[in-house]
Structure 1
């Protein structure tokens, strides 16, 4: 029996479905950083900053189950696992960049400074 998601309970509510897919403390940040390219878990965790190991793993699994992130396991010793954004996940790129831009403006309007992000992803041509 397939697992039901929260948005399965509210058919036709596109906003609920969208927010449910990217909600979570780290999901948006995970997708944002994977826009730069394929990353191993430890590199991704370093980008996220101060967080436990358990929560990003849980959210990566949810993103993978929703088809937004792809997990590739290599049969080598030690085991190697890479995470990358799928084409479906990449379709969120303009939305995530708009959210980032809005956040920068929000911080600026309050006299706060954003962390300088030299490796911010840009939209593909």
Structure 2
């Protein structure tokens, strides 16, 4: 059990910016719990025909950053000005990208279930917690 817990802590510390180099379970409890949930449902999320998988394939094929845009938007709780600043784009550019997500993949960001499934899919893909480096 201790070895498994230590492995999870290392995964969290390696995946998230701004965390200390050394931490115990209690120091990063929320991140560990989120990782455990993500791991537990990884086989279920996203489904092979789901919008997140299609989004990732679209980004790869068209060399776009729509998945990272969605990850940043979800990470900032839908705050357009904060997300635009994080991505270093104009708020209207961000709004355009969000409309593209809806038009291309049917991602309805007003729906909490859609946001949850998208977040789980992006976590499984390693895009959440959001990281500044391109993937």
Please give the TM-score of this superposition, normalised by the length of structure 2.
Answer: 0.39
Q: Which has the higher strand share?
A: 1
Q: Which has the higher helix share?
A: 2
Higher RCO (C-alpha under 8 Å, 6+ residues apart):
2
